[in-house]
């Protein structure tokens, strides 16, 4: 995979908003016994909260700061206060990025062929009388962003969200917009309702 493709796989993070305009599909999980209404302040789990999941290239170190800014902006927009010291927070945040190459194979009946011979073999039915199939193969990169929320007092995970998307050329051209869309998709489920 080229460096450019990997860059976007990480940028997309390529990550309930399935079918939304951005193309991100997000899923969430949480501890149903946790009281999320008590949360007011957040911090990063450490100086470098980004983890690298399975990827198809070398990680882009510039992505960490960009994703951190997008997550911070999204949480502040939800009414949470960002603090520097984890011990002053109610919850801490980490995130994981990754990408993988996928291949999609589609086969469908071939509709071509001669119209000679028996009329029952003409048109659509021809594919079932020896005309064969046509196959298309498409390779693409799927990016993923996972965000994890940990309760600071209990020191355990309480919320997990993942956004995924197939990386397109438009995503590669708008890094900042794609990161924001991935973060918005994954954090749409936080706090859980």
Angle at 60 between CA 56 and CA 63, to 5 degrees: 120
- Closest C-alpha among 87, 71, 85 to residue 152: 87
pLDDT one digit per residue (tens) for the chain, 193 residues = 455 444 444 444 333 233 333 689 999 999 999 999 999 999 999 999 988 776 656 667 888 999 999 999 999 999 999 999 999 999 999 999 876 565 656 666 765 554 555 555 555 554 455 556 676 665 546 788 999 999 999 999 999 999 998 877 777 678 788 899 999 999 999 999 8
CA distance readout (Å), 23 to 3, 87, 137, 168, 173: 23, 37, 21, 10, 15
Domains observed in the chain = 3-100+142-187 (3.30.160)
**Prediction pTM value:** 0.69
């Amino acid at each position: 995979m080229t460096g450019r493709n990997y860059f976007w796989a990480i940028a997309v993070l390529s990550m309930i908003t399935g079918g939304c305009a951005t193309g991100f599909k997000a899923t969430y999980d949480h501890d149903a016994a946790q009281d999320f209404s008590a949360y007011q302040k957040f911090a990063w789990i450490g100086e470098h909260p980004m983890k690298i999941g399975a990827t198809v290239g070398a990680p882009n170190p510039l992505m960490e700061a960009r994703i951190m800014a997008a997550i911070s902006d999204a949480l502040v927009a939800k009414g949470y206060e960002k603090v520097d010291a984890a011990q002053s927070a109610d919850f801490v945040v980490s995130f994981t990025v990754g990408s993988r190459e996928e291949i999609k194979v589609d086969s469908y009946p071939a509709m071509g062929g001669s119209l000679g011979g028996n009329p029952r073999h003409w048109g659509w039915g021809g594919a079932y009388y020896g005309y064969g199939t046509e196959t298309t193969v498409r390779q693409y990169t799927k990016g993923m962003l996972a965000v994890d929320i940990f309760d600071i007092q209990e020191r355990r995970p309480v919320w997990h969200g993942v956004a995924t998307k197939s990386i397109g050329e438009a995503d590669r051209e708008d890094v900042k917009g794609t990161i924001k869309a991935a973060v918005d998709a994954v954090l749409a489920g936080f706090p859980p309702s």
